[in-house]
């Protein structure tokens, strides 16, 4: 069974929407150990406790090879000079040793202070201020209402809700349009139908009522939805006892 995260209703395996409140159900998979149904983002199986985490493989740390010091062989005529340690054997393998006087001159030049480069004042250009990109306005649905035929009572459809629940008070889903005060309300289920607002359109769907939902005297199958147009006749239950007309709301 799949438990609805919204109303806690038990749904059969394979269901994608809650049978009670039509909320989208989380996707599931089978436990590789016991085969129980678990959510895709689960870290362990709630049936057998099998861990679903996989240890990430750690890559070995590669260290650089140690530097090898190579002692250069003294050239002819330079006997008595200290051996030179080559830090770069490939570049200095064929280097010619210098005389002591030349080495001292080079050492003095290396100790001379290096003149500092002239200071150049950095020019900072002001960052142009970018105006925020305007967000296009979302289309707003035109206001509509339901006219109860038996009592000639208009009921405004809340435009700020995306899903409007039609029914009677219950412990699962509170109705946004309560029909319990109308005559013959016993034919209406507590969780009967939903009106959904998507963009500028209104849709109605039956959510598993006992006596059905009828559009222009035709039964609306559970799971299907109907695009409402002004003048559509909505019957909640059999016998056309609780009837509404979908129409434009007065401005």
29-58 pLDDT tens trace? 777 887 777 776 677 776 777 777 753 333
The distance of Cα 201 from the centroid of its chain, to the nearest Å, equals 25
- The residue-averaged pLDDT of 225-230 equals 95
State the pLDDT at residue 157: 93
**77: pLDDT strictly greater than 50:** no
3-state SS class at 30: strand
Contact 164, 195 (CB under 8 A): yes
- Give the C-alpha separation, 191 to 8, whole Å: 14
Contact 37, 46 (CB under 8 A): no
Spatial neighbors of 67 by CB under 8 A, at least 6 apart, are: 87
State pLDDT tens for residues 148-159.
999 999 999 988
- The residue-averaged pLDDT of 215-233 equals 94
Share of the chain above pLDDT 70, in %: 65
pTM score, whole prediction: 0.46
- Domains of the chain (ranges; CATH) run 1-52 (no CATH), 144-248 (2.60.200.20)
**79: pLDDT strictly greater than 60:** no
State the pLDDT at residue 126: 64
**Low-confidence winner among 66-80, 99-113, 124-138, 228-242 (lowest mean pLDDT):** 66-80
- In this prediction, residue 120 has a pLDDT band, given cuts at 50, 70 and 90, of low
**Whole-Å CA distances, 21 to 48, 163, 189:** 30, 10, 13
């Amino acid at each position: 069974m799949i438990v609805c995260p919204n109303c806690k209703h038990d749904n059969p395996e394979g269901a994608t929407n809650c049978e009670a409140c039509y909320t989208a159900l989380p996707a599931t998979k089978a436990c590789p150990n016991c085969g129980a149904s678990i959510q895709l983002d689960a870290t362990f199986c709630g049936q057998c406790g099998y861990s679903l985490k996989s240890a990430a493989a750690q890559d070995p740390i590669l260290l650089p090879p140690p530097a090898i010091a190579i002692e250069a062989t003294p050239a002819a005529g330079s006997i008595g000079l200290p051996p030179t340690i080559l830090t770069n054997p490939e570049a200095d393998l064929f280097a010619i040793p210098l005389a002591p006087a030349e080495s001292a001159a080079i050492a003095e030049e290396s100790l001379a202070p290096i003149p500092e480069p002239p200071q150049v004042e950095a020019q900072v250009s002001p960052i142009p201020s970018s105006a925020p990109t305007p967000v296009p306005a979302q289309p707003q649905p035109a206001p509509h209402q339901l006219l109860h035929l038996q009592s000639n009572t208009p009921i405004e459809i809340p435009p700020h809700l995306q899903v409007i629940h039609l029914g009677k008070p219950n412990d699962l889903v509170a109705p946004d349009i309560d029909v319990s005060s109308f005559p013959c309300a016993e034919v209406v289920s507590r969780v009967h139908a939903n009106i959904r607002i998507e963009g500028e359109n209104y849709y109605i769907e039956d959510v598993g009522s006992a006596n059905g939902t009828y559009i222009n005297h035709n039964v609306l199958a559970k799971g299907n939805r109907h695009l409402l147009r002004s003048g559509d006749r909505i019957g909640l239950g059999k016998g056309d006892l609780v009837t509404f007309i979908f129409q434009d709301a007065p401005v």
